[in-house]
Structure 1
Amino acid sequence: MSDRRLRVLIVEDEVLVAAELAWLVEDLGHEVVGEAATSADALRLAGDTRPDLALVDIHLYDGPTGVEVARRIAAESGATVLFMTANQKRVPPDFAGAAGLVPKPYSIHGMQEAIAFVEQCMAEGRAMAEPPHSLKVAPAFTERLGSRGP
């Protein structure tokens, strides 16, 4: 892990899942800058808070709008996005600009590993290790990071 404290936006319509994610993010030493359950709230919060990382569910309170939310957050705020979803088939081949996805149901340890890996990649500009099994990395993110190792 780096010493950098990430600003994290949680986009999740299930209140208990969002609360668990907030605890997990804070336990890793990062700051939750907002929680959103709808696409409109997510986009507003992303614009207002400029997060470093957004954890985005595919199916939000207003429907399966997470893909478009991820695409816009990545493009408009420059945040790194991770999908969290039980339905990986809804993720387009280009991952809508997201760095990867963590399949639901996920374990706390698996999500911690995924966030730590992405955090390390953001800090170093490349992967220093193989991604954890809990994270399916987007092809474009892999290409951008290049080879792993020192």
Structure 2
Amino acid sequence: MNTGKSLRILIIEDEILIALELETLLQEAGHDVVGVAPSSSEALKLARNLKPDLAFVDIHLADGPTGVDVARQLTSQLGTTVLFMTANTKRIPEDFAGARGVISKPYTERGVREALAYILADREDGAEPSRTVTFIPFGAMSPGDRSTLS
């Protein structure tokens, strides 16, 4: 699904197989993956140099649970849009550390594509984003969980 709009994306993930799989998915969706960083220091260095539009950020990186700090710096200092992609959703603070949403691991291709569509729609709208969204892989939900979604 190539929407014609392309984002420059930084993947911040310490598990190389997950990072490579996500990179392939994003490229197939028509986006430019500008880099992959396994640690907070490398992530911030790459972000400053490459100025991505969007960063997928895991909470637990090679140097520990530093993803929340990375998200805060990317959003506040560089204006980068952040989506958390993590199995540790309980570690995300109530203010989302400036992130626009969460894709829960294990993620689905559909969840990633929906998140990208959401980010692109916000960018086209031009208005200041007013909410954050949690993208939940449908395969991970039991039938009773569906009634809690609004």
Settle same-fold status: TM greater than 0.5: yes
Question: Which of the five TM-score ranges fits, normalised by the shorter chain?
Answer: 0.7 to 0.9
Q: Is 1:91 equivalent to 2:85 in the alignment? A: no
Aligned-partner SS, 1:102: strand
Give me the TM-score of the superposition, normalised by structure 1.
0.82
Residue aligning to 1:52: 53
Counterpart position of 2:104: 103
Deviation at 1:118, TM superposition (A): 1.2
Which 5+ residue runs of structure 2 have no aligned equivalent? 138-150
Based on CA coordinates, which of the two structures has the bigger radius of gyration? 2
Alignment partners' CA distance in 1, 2:77 and 2:134:
28
Query: Are the equivalent residues in 2 in contact too, given 1:9–1:34 (CA < 8 A)?
Result: yes
Structure 1: gaps (5+ residues): 136-150
**Structure 1 match to 2:119:** 118
The alignment's TM-score, normalised by the length of structure 2, stands at 0.82
Residue 125 of structure 1: how far off its partner (Å): 2.9
AA aligned to 1:70 is A
What is the CA distance between 1:132 and its match in structure 2?
A: 8.0
Aligned to 2:113, the other structure's residue is in SS state helix
- AA at the equivalent of 1:102: I
Question: Which residue does the alignment assign to 2:10?
Answer: 9
TM alignment of 1:72-83, pairs within 5 A: 72-83=73-84
Give the paired residue count. 132
Q: Report the RMSD for the aligned CA atoms in angstroms.
A: 1.9
Question: Does the Cα contact within 8 Å between 2:101 and 2:135 map onto a contact in 1?
Answer: no
Distance in 1 (alpha carbons) for counterparts of 2:108 and 2:69: 26
Look up the match of 1:40: 41
Cα separation, 2, equivalents of 1:34 and 1:120: 23
For the Cα contact (< 8 Å) 2:102–2:135, is it kept in 1?
no
